[in-house]
Structures are given as C-alpha cells and as structure tokens.
C-alpha cells in the first residue's frame, strides 16, 4: 500500500471516534433542550408577576404581596454561612493536602468526609434541631438556619478545596522548598495565591447550591417572616417560600406567584455564578 493511503484499520478508530462525538453532542443537545423546556415556560409565566411591589413587599397569605423579606433572609443566611464554613473548609483542606505526611488519620478523615457528603441535608437539619433547638434551646430562627447551612456547606467546600490544592503540581512545592522556603511560606506565597481564583469559583457554586436548600431550613429557620429582620426570628428563604406556595399556599394566584418566585431564585443563582466567575477571572489575570 502506498504512503498517504489510509487502511481500513486506520479508518475504523476514526469513524468510531466521530460516532462517539455525535452521540455525546446529541446527549448534550437533548439535556440543553430539556433544561430550556423548563426555564422558558417559567420565565414567560413568572415575568408577568414581577414588579417593584413583588420584590420589596412582604408576602400575603391570600394573594398579592411580594418576597422582599425572603430575599433578604436568603442573602443574609447564605452569606453568613459561607463566611463561617468556607474559611474553615480552606484551612482543613490545606492541612489535609499540605500536611498529610504528619496526619496519621488522613485515611479516616477521607472516609468520614465521604460519609458526611452522602448524608441527605434533611438529616443534617434534624441534627441541628436535636442539638441547637431541643438541647440548647435556640429558637426556630435565622441563626438556626445559618448553623444548618454552615454544616451542609462545610464538607462540600472541603472536598472541592482539596481538589483545588491537589491540582497544583508537586514540583512547584519542591522548587519552593529547594529555594529555602518553609512549608508555611510555600503555602502563603505559592499555594494560596495560585488557588484564590478556584476558591472564589468554589464559593460561587456553593452559594448557588445553598440558595436552593429547603428541607433543612423548614425545621430550623421556619416558614414565617417578620417585617423587621432579627436573628432570633423565623426566616423563610426564597426556596422555602416557593415550596410553601406549591404545597400549602391558599392564595388564588398561587401558580403565578410560584412562577415569579422561581424566576427570582433562578436569577439570584445565575447572578451569583456570573459574579463569582468574573471575579475569579479578574483574580487569575491579576496573578499572571
């Protein structure tokens, strides 16, 4: 056979790869169409219910009103839970990755982390109810919801932070040590600066995940809201309010209110992800 002519054996892997590409592209297109089939009707139905009154007023049981307090509760509870759990997750992930040689319980830690990650968030909410509300006599309130969200977010953030730190090549660490840097100097001047952008993206993904949490918050933060925010008062979030409308709401326009509430929740999630990605990109470019 002359040079430049492909044999049947050569053409077979190429055709198989092209077929796999078409299959994966079809699956991706199908998933995108399924997502759009949910988002587009939600946006169309919910857009008509959006107004300044809906964004800033308190909800009403028999129709009308808005979700102003729910938006405030969502931002405060998710934001404070991230401020509590994310720094602890980064510290623990750093110790797990950078000091694993001196950590005899590293294997047990990984197994325990996988077990906690597999727990339903409802179980974590019931644990908070048992300890914080029943034994410590905390009220069903915003502070109990913050504790529940912190416990839900912590193992997830730890697992993602470990992956971020493990992606940094070991050769960079060894080069830093060879230049006389200590392990702590390597962490503060190399590992963390190279990881800040990924950590910011982790924070965005974790925040979007917490915004949709409902099961744990129903029993810890409650289903009611007050016109004046207080950490000791019940704090219904947007996701919990959406669940309440679709299950127990008595308002005659429940479908339109639920669609508008779902659209606001979707916009909050998209905004958080967009801002975190843009900020992470800016940090990454500033470190170059």
Residues 6+ apart with CB under 8 A from 272: 204, 207, 208, 211
| Dist. CA 218–CA 244, nearest whole Å | 10
pLDDT at 103 over 70: no
Q: What is the mean pLDDT of residues 184-196?
A: 92
Q: In the structure encoding, which two tokens stand for residue 145, read together? A: 């919801």
Query: What is the predicted pLDDT for the residue at 102?
Result: 62
Higher-confidence residue of 104 and 228: namely: 228
pLDDT band of residue 227 (cuts 50, 70, 90) is confident
Residues 6+ apart with CB under 8 A from 177: 183, 186
Higher-confidence residue of 252 and 235: namely: 235
Query: What is the predicted pLDDT for the residue at 1?
Result: 45
Q: What is the mean pLDDT of residues 56-75?
A: 86
pLDDT band of residue 45 (cuts 50, 70, 90) is confident
Query: What is the predicted pLDDT for the residue at 3?
Result: 52
pTM of the shown model: 0.87
Q: What is the mean pLDDT of residues 180-201?
A: 91
| Dist. CA 99–CA 183, nearest whole Å | 9
* 3-state helix vs strand vs coil in the chain, percent to 5: 75, 0, 25
Instruction: Give yes or no for a contact between 264 and 238, defined as CB atoms under 8 angstroms apart.
Output: yes
pLDDT band of residue 286 (cuts 50, 70, 90) is confident
Q: Phi/psi zone of residue 137: left (φ > 0), alpha (ψ -120 to 50 degrees), beta?
A: left
Higher-confidence residue of 248 and 219: namely: 219
pLDDT band of residue 59 (cuts 50, 70, 90) is confident
pLDDT at 199 over 70: yes
| Dist. CA 262–CA 59, nearest whole Å | 15
Q: Kindly report, residue by residue over 1-20, the tens digit of the pLDDT.
A: 445 555 555 545 656 677 78
Query: What is the predicted pLDDT for the residue at 10?
Result: 52
Q: What is the mean pLDDT of residues 42-52?
A: 85
């Amino acid at each position: 056979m002359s040079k430049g002519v492909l044999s049947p054996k050569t053409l077979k892997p190429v055709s198989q790869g092209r077929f796999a590409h078409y299959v994966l592209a079809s699956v991706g297109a199908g998933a995108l169409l399924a997502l759009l089939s949910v988002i587009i009707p939600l946006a169309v139905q919910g857009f008509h219910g959006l107004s300044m009154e809906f964004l800033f007023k308190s909800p009403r049981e028999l129709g009308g009103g808005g979700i102003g307090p729910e938006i405030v509760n969502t931002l405060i509870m998710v934001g404070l839970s991230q401020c509590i759990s994310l720094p602890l997750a980064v510290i623990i992930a750093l110790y797990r990755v950078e000091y694993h040689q001196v950590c005899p319980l590293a294997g047990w830690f990984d197994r325990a982390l996988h077990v906690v990650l597999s727990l339903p968030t409802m179980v974590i909410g019931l644990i908070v109810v048992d300890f914080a509300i029943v034994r410590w006599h905390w009220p069903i309130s915003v502070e109990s919801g913050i504790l529940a969200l912190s416990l839900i977010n912590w193992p997830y953030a730890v697992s993602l932070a470990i992956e971020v730190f493990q992606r940094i090549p070991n050769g960079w660490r060894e080069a830093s040590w060879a230049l006389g840097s200590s392990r702590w100097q390597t962490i503060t001047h190399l590992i963390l600066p190279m990881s800040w952008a990924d950590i910011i993206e982790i924070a965005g993904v974790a925040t979007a995940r917490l915004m949709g949490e409902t099961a744990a918050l129903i029993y810890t933060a409650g289903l009611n809201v007050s016109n004046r925010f207080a950490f000791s008062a019940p704090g219904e979030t947007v996701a919990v309010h959406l669940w309440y409308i679709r299950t127990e709401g008595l308002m005659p326009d429940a479908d339109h209110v639920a669609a508008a509430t779902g659209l606001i929740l979707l916009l909050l999630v998209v905004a958080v992800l967009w801002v975190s990605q843009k900020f992470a990109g800016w940090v990454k470019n500033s470190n170059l």
